[in-house]
Amino acid sequence: MAGLSFDLIALQLFAGLALGAIYVLFAIGLSLIFGMLTVVNFAHGAFYMVGAYVGLYILSLGGNFWVCLILVPIAVGLFGLAVERVLIRPLYGRGIDYPLLLTFGLSYVMVELVRIVFGKTGFPFDTPEVLQGAVNIGVGYFPLYRLFVIGATAAVLLSLWLFLEKTSFGLIIRAGARDPQIVRVLGVNVARVWLIVFGIGTAIAGFAGLLAAPLQGLIPEMGGTILAEAFVVTVVGGMGSIGGAVLAGLLVGVVVSMTSLFAPEMAKVSIFALMAVVLIVRPQGFFGRAGLMS
């Protein structure tokens, strides 16, 4: 292995953490919805894709990237609210596979609609000008935009944590996740709580799609790959644990990065190998509650 220097390994490690942050961002909406509602949202990747396309649409109307950062999560979140109210709500209490199958079908419908409206060919999505180029991080050059994505992910996590742990509404959400019946007896409108959680989860998915657009460009099928990655992160971290998703996302990123350095053709497989090992040793994932799926 020629050319392996300390700087390269350090940069590779950093690239892995940065990639991990992107995985965390992809997974967090999925994990939130599962943890609080026990709904496995197979349309997560489709909401992510819709976020990117809504961003593209706002840009075409003359908006800029910063406007998108605010409007895209709102638009996708509102869409998520409608989906929960009309499609998901009638399925609560019917077992975990009902909403799973519904969202699976929904993702196909959403992808097909985007194909019809925007066409099958992809679109470019330029990196916002102030975030273009690479900066020296001490051990090598790293794209400025990726550093921005790490910051944005941290901001999403921090506000989600503050919301869930430090507000009274967050307390109700957490209580509702543990025992919806008691919460209902206490006079809380649980249906409304779930509606809002689903809206937040899809809003974060849309936000992730927007942030991914300058990294990958847009095609209607872009949600497919991230759905698999988000599931691995969620499962490894423990279904429904946001802290677990963060740890798992970063770990997956570092594993991919280090595999890429020594055996790049194995990079994709390494994600699933890691998941297999974790599931054998600890079936509920890092911080998962056992029996959540049953």
Judged by CB under 8 A, the residue of 8, 71, 147, 292 near other proteins is: 8
Fill in the DSSP letter of residue 128.
P
The tokens describing 52, both together, are 């990117």
Dmax over CA atoms of the chain, in Å, equals: 67
Measured from the CB atom, the residue of 189 and 225 that comes closer to other proteins is 225
Helices 190-216, 144-166: inter-axial angle, 10-degree rounding: 170
| Among residues 40, 226, 227, 245, the one that binds other proteins under rule CB under 8 A | 226
Q: Which two tokens stand for residue 44?
A: 């997560």
CB of 169 to other proteins, least distance (A): 35
Cβ nearer to other proteins, comparing 48 with 287:
48
Residue 15 dihedral angles phi and psi, to the nearest 5°: -60, -35
* Closest C-alpha to 279, from 266, 269, 288, 268: 288
Residue 29 backbone phi and psi in degrees, to 5? -65, -40
Contact status: 181 vs other proteins (CB under 8 A): no
Report the site for other proteins in 73-112 (rule: CB under 8 A). Answer: none
Comparison of 121 and 294: residue with beta carbon closer to other proteins: 121
Question: CA-CA distance, 68 to 86, in Å (whole number)?
Answer: 26
Q: Which residues pair with 135 in a beta bridge?
A: 142
For other proteins, the closer CB: 150 or 157: 150
Residue 20 and residue 28 in contact, taking contact as beta carbons nearer than 8 Å: no
Which x/- pattern, by CB under 8 A, does the window 9-48 give for other proteins?
A: --xx--xx-xx--x--------------------------
Size of the site for other proteins (CB under 8 A): 47
String of contacts with other proteins for each residue 120-139, x by CB under 8 A? xxxxxxxx----xxx-----
Kindly tell me which of 141 and 169 has the beta carbon lying closer to other proteins. Answer: 141
